[in-house]
Amino acid sequence: MNADFNPLAELGRERRRQVQVRQALKGALKQTESGDDSLAAMLEACADYLVNSMGRLDLTDMNIHDLLKERVPQDNAEVHEALETLSSRQATARAETAVLAEALKDYRQGGRADFAAFDQALRRYHGIVSELMTPRKNPFSPYTDKLFTFADWEDIADANTETVAAEDRLFDAVTTVAPDSLKPDSFSGTHGMRP
């Protein structure tokens, strides 16, 4: 990245855009019945985006987890319990994202013939991940604000021109195939899935 790269800004951008895509996906799933392929291209693009984005989220959250686990005093049981909860949520999200990635691969390898199976997998994924990603105040910010340096955030973000370009390409792919009312940029990108 260039010298002006701000890892916190990049993390914020990635997370906001992920929520925007999830909000657009929620709208698409509400507009269609299970098995209705009228928004198939958009659903496929959303799945593609989310597989990449959730991989990045998992990487960055586990980087935060590992640094906090190392730096927060061991006698701070509340924080260490919250870190265990984060680790458990991330493990569930990681496993569910792998299932979605497999369903997406099967759908494509099958010539997109079995939309119903892909749609069912995506709807299941959306339901589970929406529960995992419920709005919550970041319980770690009092610690990350004090314990992490700019260099730490650079390591946590682990972003580079390739990760930024991949995220841009996948976000743009969703935008290209989404109807005007479901363009990711038309959603707030705030937690709680509010428009």
pLDDT along the chain (195 residues), means of 10: 74 94 97 96 98 96 95 95 93 97 98 97 96 74 93 94 95 98 91 48
| Predicted TM-score of the model (pTM) | 0.92
pLDDT given for residue 2 in this prediction:
47
pLDDT in tens, 121-163: 999 999 999 988 865 567 798 999 999 999 999 999 999 999 9
Two structure tokens written together for 147: 């314990």
pLDDT given for residue 5 in this prediction:
76
Tell me how far apart the alpha carbons of residues 95 and 56 are, in angstroms, rounded to a whole number. Answer: 14
- Angle between the N-to-C axes of helices 40-71 and 115-132, in degrees from 0 to 180, rounded to the nearest 10: 30
38 DSSP 8-state letter:
T
Please provide residue 99's backbone torsions phi and psi, each rounded to the nearest 5 degrees: -65, -45
- Angle between the N-to-C axes of helices 7-31 and 161-177, in degrees from 0 to 180, rounded to the nearest 10: 20
Q: What domains are there in the chain, each with its CATH number?
A: 19-29+37-181 (1.20.120)
pLDDT given for residue 138 in this prediction:
74
The answer to whether 96 touches 128, Cβ cutoff 8 Å, is: yes
User: Within 10 A of 125 (CB to CB), how many other CB atoms are there?
Assistant: 23
pLDDT given for residue 1 in this prediction:
46
185 DSSP 8-state letter:
G
